[in-house]
Structure 1
Amino acid sequence: MKFDREHWRELDINVDSLWLMGPRAKGGRHTNIYHGNFAPQIPNQMIRRYTEEGDTVMDLFMGSGTTLYECETLKRNYIGFDINDEIIDFVEDRMRGCDAIDYHIHNCDVTNKEAFCRNVEDDLRRMNKRKVDLIMVHPPYLDIIHFTNRPEDLSSISDLNIFLDRFQIAMTNALAYLKSRHYFALVVGDIYRNGEVIPLGFYMMYTIKKAFDCELKGIVVKDIVGNRAKIGQESLWRYRALVNGNFLFKHEYIFVFKKK
């Protein structure tokens, strides 16, 4: 987005590196039925800051459609991918009657270059575009939540190195279709495994920096409010943390990159 120097103060764009957002935004087509969804405020901020009306956003892991619903509200076109049949059917049903934007949803493994490229190129051709303007990436956090039983599902991978290799393939496929000097955002959290913290977010950030010609523009720490897995069990989780010597996860990361 181009920022007018005279009106930039009127824009509700959060440029801080710590985001205390409060409850998950509601309204429109948003629901909170999917364990792996993220706060609509995140794609809303990214879309409004880095795109214009009529631009196209690519979403590598669509989930319950959070980024798509924000694209509809903000009048951005959309190309999304997932491999969960049930959630794809759910999102397509939620989007019935939408004619405000040009959107395309694919049941496609984003690490399958041939299928991924075919879908993206068909969509861009229909849109009369050659590249997308922003990429949103909210992948599984290794295998802490199993979304499907499909072997190509990243949420079925427990080995960190295999996961990072597959993630790099997905990003290679996607970044080929991002315009130069445009942005992409990775939203991810860390995990506990075998009694210690696995800094998954930083492993993924480093994978991107090592493999691709891009600039890291920001590391945003976003607070987690009302984690569904911990609701009603705060005392138990606090007790476990004290006993085990660890700290409770109350945050996720948003890594923002600019393609060179």
Structure 2
Amino acid sequence: MARYNDLDPEKWKEYDDINTDSLWIIDKRDNSGAHTGDYHGNFVPQIPHQLFTRYTKKGDWILDPFMGSGTSLIEAQRMGRNSIGIELQPEVARESYDRIQTEHRDDCSVKVIPGDSRTINMDRIMETIGINKLQFVIMHPPYWDIIKFSDNKNDLSNTESLEEFLDSFEEVIDNSTKYLEKNRYCACVIGDKYANSQVVPLGFHCMNKFIEKGFLLKAILVKNFGETKGKTNQQGIWRYRAITNDFYIFNIQRN
């Protein structure tokens, strides 16, 4: 079996900090150093940390086509991985780059590129950097229109229908995975949407887009995150809403 990480199989019992179950319970977001929770919609650093530990080695190249505040690039840099982040909003890209550089390391490269991940010239990016392949792609796209990130018409959070959102996401898959090394991994971190008294399973829809492209599904993981701003100190009212409106509370943990 090919080795895609720096873990020693002989020491597997010692890796008690590595998640191997499909339920990931995360009590609190890592806000250390360059990791901040200020950007609306950024994700938990522990997620890319776990994924990079399992599926990359030091020196590998990681692409994040939905860079946002740079969470995955910060984590990649901490772990000695090279990374490329693409961000639609130039001002967000600049702020993220400055934040990432506060933890600069000489032994790995970080490339932040403003642009639309659907259409950006990946051939030119790869040629400029001087690499032929990527070893991992991590995606944390907008959860359709749950959070509006900008007024840019090319922003996936501004798509008017589920079909338009998925079509745009499919374009990102095509463009961002074209240089993914054979038999290497891609991860998509996304939540579902509840609207009009029904669940819109964005995760399954996006997963199917990958399968249609010939990707093999290796796992579906569920994150249970205790520190959610929308439910902080409001467990009672959310329980009431769940009972009276016939739904189950998404992603809440009581300590």
TM-score in terms of structure 1 length: 0.88
Whole-angstrom CA distance in 1 between matches of 2:100 and 2:24: 29
Q: CA deviation at 1:3?
A: 4.2
1:106 to 90, 110, 113: 113
Match of 1:166 in 2: 168
Whole-angstrom CA distance in 2 between matches of 1:3 and 1:234: 40
Q: CA deviation at 1:159?
A: 0.8
Alignment of 1:122-201 (within 5 A): 122-201=124-203
Q: CA deviation at 1:243?
A: 1.6
The answer for unaligned runs of 5 or more in structure 1 is: 252-260
1:203-222 superposed Cα distances (whole Å, 9 cap, x missing partner): 11112112x12211111111
Letter in 2 for 1:51: T
The answer for unaligned runs of 5 or more in structure 2 is: none
SS at match of 2:113: strand
Letter in 1 for 2:115: C
Match of 1:26 in 2: 31
1:238-260 superposed Cα distances (whole Å, 9 cap, x missing partner): 22222211111117xxxxxxxxx
Q: CA deviation at 1:103?
A: 1.1
Match of 1:37 in 2: 42
Whole-angstrom CA distance in 1 between matches of 2:160 and 2:210: 20
Letter in 1 for 2:54: R
Q: CA deviation at 1:52?
A: 0.9
> Is 1:222–2:219 an aligned residue pair?
no
Letter in 2 for 1:151: K
TM-score in terms of structure 2 length: 0.90
Letter in 1 for 2:237: L
Letter in 2 for 1:144: I
SS at match of 1:215: coil
Letter in 2 for 1:227: T
**CA gap 1:19/1:99 in 2 versus in 1, 3 angstroms:** closer
Whole-angstrom CA distance in 1 between matches of 2:208 and 2:95: 34
| More moved, 24-33 vs 131-140 | 24-33
1:171-215 superposed Cα distances (whole Å, 9 cap, x missing partner): 0111111000000101111111111111111111112112x1221
Q: CA deviation at 1:2?
A: 5.2
**CA gap 1:126/1:85 in 2 versus in 1, 3 angstroms:** closer
- Structure having the larger proportion of residues in strand: 1
Q: CA deviation at 1:225?
A: 1.9
Contact kept in structure 2, 1:147 and 1:155, CA below 8 Å = yes
Letter in 1 for 2:203: G
Contact kept in structure 1, 2:6 and 2:58, CA below 8 Å = no
Give the root-mean-square deviation of aligned CA atoms: 1.7
Letter in 2 for 1:6: E
Whole-angstrom CA distance in 2 between matches of 1:88 and 1:127: 18
Contact kept in structure 2, 1:65 and 1:91, CA below 8 Å = yes
Whole-angstrom CA distance in 2 between matches of 1:86 and 1:234: 36
In the comparison of the two structures, how many residue pairs are matched?
A: 245
> Is 1:91–2:100 an aligned residue pair?
no
